[in-house]
Amino acid sequence: MRVALFGTSADPPTAGHQKILSWLSERYDWVAVWAADNPFKSHQTPLEHRAAMLRLLITDIDAPRHNIALEQELSSFRTLETVGKAKLIWGEDAELTLIIGSDLLSQLPRWYRIEDLLQEVQLLIVPRPGYAIDESSSEVVQKLGGKIAIASLIGLDVSSTAYREHGDSQALTAPVVAYINREHLYECQDVHKKRYQLR
Ligand SMILES: Nc1ncnc2c1ncn2[C@@H]1O[C@H](COP(=O)(O)OP(=O)(O)OP(=O)(O)O)[C@@H](O)[C@H]1O
Ligand SMILES: O=C(O)c1ccc[n+]([C@@H]2O[C@H](COP(=O)([O-])O)[C@@H](O)[C@H]2O)c1
């Protein structure tokens, strides 16, 4: 069983995350996704809302294999703990692949017990516009034991930050926008966003 593990802050989840999930669903037996708190970031929306938006994002994907699931019980500050939980679910023999965008490659060495984590998973790096995969970061990760593959997919040029800071609603899918409006999320940035949009 080949399982793709994809954790995201989902603050909010974007069309970029959705494209990655669709692509993974065609290549892995199971695609497990969860909303997480990131020890290196602060988040603007409670985790429950972020997980609910992620569920909407997934429901919206037309995946013929029906193999994408919100596995929110995997959520942890530390991916090593997530992988421990994944092994309990899918067993020691499952092949686990951790999916990250190329923007995270250089920070990976600072993750919790990274060498132990890299023993447990394969890594798949998704190229992201503006974040070239540089050799020195790849080498550092490989020296720590990382088994790196690069996805044959280029991520969309969108980000959660672009939505939070500039109201780039192109970044989001319609069901997520509807949820944000209904729950009055991200409103404190509205004045700031409107100023940007009027420019
Ligand atoms: N457009 C994208 N292309 C490639 N990888 C992406 C893309 N968007 C997100 N990712 C990857 O998905 C994972 C979750 O990303 P995250 O939720 O932090 O999105 P983000 O848009 O980077 O958010 P923020 O702007 O808040 O940092 C990370 O591994 C990130 O590198
Ligand atoms: O394990 C760690 O030390 C660690 C440090 C930073 C980020 N992560 C995880 O990386 C995933 C992507 O984070 P983010 O904020 O870029 O969406 C998410 O599952 C985080 O919990 C994990």
Ligand 1 atom closest to 100 (CA): 29
pLDDT at 190: 56
Q: Indicate whether 136 pLDDT > 70.
A: yes
Distance from residue 94's CA to the centre of ligand 1 (Å)? 25
**Ligand with minimal distance to 109 CA:** 2
17 Cα: distance to centroid of ligand 2 (angstroms): 14
Which residues neighbour 62 within 8 Å (Cβ) at sequence distance 6 or greater?
none
Looking at every residue in the chain, the average pLDDT score rounds to 94
- Rg of the chain's alpha carbons, rounded to an integer? 17
Give me the pLDDT at residue 43, please: 83
Give the separation between CA 19 and CA 58, rounded to whole angstroms: 10
Closest residue by Cα to atom 29, ligand 1, is 100
Average pLDDT of 12-38?
Answer: 98
What pLDDT, on the 0 to 100 scale, is given for residue 197? 52
List, in order of start, the domains of the chain with CATH numbers. Answer: 2-183 (3.40.50.620)
What is the value of pTM for the model shown?
0.95
CA 33 – CA 67 distance, rounded (Å) = 11
Q: Does 75 sit in the ligand 1 pocket, CB within 6 Å?
A: no
Is the distance from the beta carbon of residue 38 to the nearest atom of ligand 2 less than 6 Å?
yes
Q: How far is the CA of 198 from the centre of ligand 2 (A)?
A: 34
What does the pLDDT look like over 67-97, one tens digit per residue? 999 999 999 999 999 999 999 999 999 999 9
Compute, in degrees rounded to 10, the torsion defined by CA atoms 133, 134, 136, 140: -10
Residue 167, pLDDT > 60, answer yes
Q: Is the CB of 10 under 6 A from ligand 1?
A: yes
Neighbouring residues of 80: CB distance < 8 A, sequence distance ≥ 6: 111, 112, 113, 116, 117, 120
Whether a cis peptide bond, with omega within 30° of 0, leads into 129 is no
Please tell me the predicted confidence (pLDDT) of residue 199: 47
Residue 104 has pLDDT above 60, yes or no: yes
CB 29 within 8 A of CB 63: no
ipTM of the complex: 0.98
Ligand 2 centroid to residue 174 C-alpha, Å: 26
Please check whether residue 30 is in contact with residue 4, taking contact to mean a CB–CB distance below 8 angstroms: yes
Show the 3-state SS of the chain.
CEEEEEEECCCCCCHHHHHHHHHHHCCCCEEEEEECCCCCCCCCCCHHHHHHHHHHHHHCCCCCCCCEEECHHHCCCCHHHHHHHHHHHHCCCCEEEEEEEHHHHHHHHHCCCHHHHHHHCEEEEECECCECCCHHHHHHHHHCCCCEEECCCCCCCCCHHHHHHHCCHHHCCHHHHHHHHHHCCCHHHHHHHHHHHHC
